[in-house]
Structure 1
Amino acid sequence: MSDDPEYDVDFRESPEEYEIGRGEQGVFKIQPYKDELLPLWSIENLEGAEEAAADVYRKFEEYKRADEFPGMDLARKYLQMGWTRSLRYAKYPGGQKYEVDEDGNRVEREPQQWYDEEKFEIAQVYREYLDRVKEDETYQRRKREWQNRE
């Protein structure tokens, strides 16, 4: 994959170019999946997040039926991002994990269990769908195959 801010690849047309990457890497760059998933994603409030997580999971199922592993993996990344981002907001005021001390050094804030209860509930919604994807036998098999490609 390119180091450029945006990849100049349509990963549906050229799926062989897709690399799984770490964590949520590529979530805002892998096209056309980004344009299909990002509008669905939300952690603003619990009701919206429940709908968003279900919608992203439905896209995962669509990609699975179409045997589009890059789409499946990107849907997993959006669910993971919903979980991690909402958990950060649940623990830290404004979602800010770091602050600058009086000497200008960046220091990690102490997490507050649970600063924002609704964001904690949102994290649980996304985690439930994320676990379903990670436990999906087709996803597991396709991920192993993708990682073992030559």
Structure 2
Amino acid sequence: MTKSSNTNSPKRLSKVHSNSFDYSLDFKKINFRKRPDLYRIGRGEQGVLLVEPYKTEILPFWQFADVEKAEKSSTKIYQLFLDYLDNDDFVGADMARKFLQMGFTRARRYANHKGGKKYKGAVPENKKGLSGAHGREQLPRSEEDEIKAKAAEIFKEKWHQAKQHPEYLKQKELFKQKYLGSVDIS
């Protein structure tokens, strides 16, 4: 293979597989515990409601309606996070981290917008399941719901504990090296 024309270093593919979440997969047929090689970390909460068997394992515990539910929910999901780490199951741990993050973001949305609706109008059909405004106008914030704001803070604390946990960071790096490493093509 040839070297890059503007440098003396070998030409590299930045990633064998992109770290971007791959929404084209058939999520109904993939067991990501058996096929962690297909999992992509993505950004933020991407894939949180798609990746099985983790969605089914974690979702029943995800609640943020009030402080008591947020405390119980975030504690249980954080324990699942620790259990996944203990079992060297990075995908499970990352999914639990995403549920904690989603607990924070959804509770904040409900704290800021009565009823949780942030944008005017319906989501365009080709954008269903994706986050963002997609050209829609953002609704004005309502008076802050203090209960939802407290619930958000409970999830935020657990989410930050998870994303900064030394074992999580170690397993994340190992996962990236194993499944997302760069390849020398020279």
Runs of at least 5 residues in structure 2 that lack an aligned partner in the other structure: 1-21, 122-134, 182-186
Alignment-mate amino acid for residue 63 of structure 2: S
How many Å apart are 1:2 and its aligned residue?
5.6
Label 1:96 to 1:71 Cα distance change in 2 as closer, same or farther (>3 A).
same
Match of 1:110 among 119, 136, 140: 140
- Give the aligned residue type for 1:106: R
Paired AA for residue 110 in structure 1: P
The question of 1:139 aligning with 2:160 is answered: no
1:148 equivalent among 170, 173, 177: 177
Q: Quick one: which of 85, 105, 119 aligns to 1:98?
A: 119
1:39, distance to aligned residue in structure 2 (A): 0.3
Given the alignment of the two structures, is residue 124 of structure 1 paired with residue 153 of structure 2, yes or no? Answer: yes
Please report the TM-score for the alignment, with normalisation by the length of structure 1: 0.88
Quote the offset at 1:93 in angstroms: 1.4
Shift of 1:134: 1.3
**In structure 1, C-alpha distance between the alignment counterparts of 2:176 and 2:113, rounded to whole Å:** 35
1:31 aligns with 2:60: no
Looking at structure 2, the residues matched to 144 and 67 of structure 1 have their Cα atoms a distance apart, in angstroms, of 13
Distance in 2 between residues matched to 1:71 and 1:93, nearest whole Å? 32
Aligned partner (choices 58, 64, 82) of residue 79 of structure 2 = 58
Tell me by how many angstroms 1:148 deviates. 3.1
Deviation readout 1:53-106 (Å, 9 max, x if unpaired): 000000001000000000000000000000000000101111111225xxxx83
The structure where helix makes up a greater share of residues is 1
Aligned positions, number: 145
Instruction: State the superposition RMSD in angstroms.
Output: 1.7
Matched letter for residue 175 of structure 2: W
| Distance in 2 (alpha carbons) for counterparts of 1:37 and 1:119 | 21
TM (normalized to structure 2)? 0.72
Q: Deviations over 1:114-134 (max 9, x none)?
A: 521000000000001001011
- The equivalent residue for 1:40 is 61
Q: Is the 8 A contact 2:27 2:52 kept in 1?
A: no
Higher RCO (C-alpha under 8 Å, 6+ residues apart): 2
- Structure-2 residue corresponding to 1:85: 106
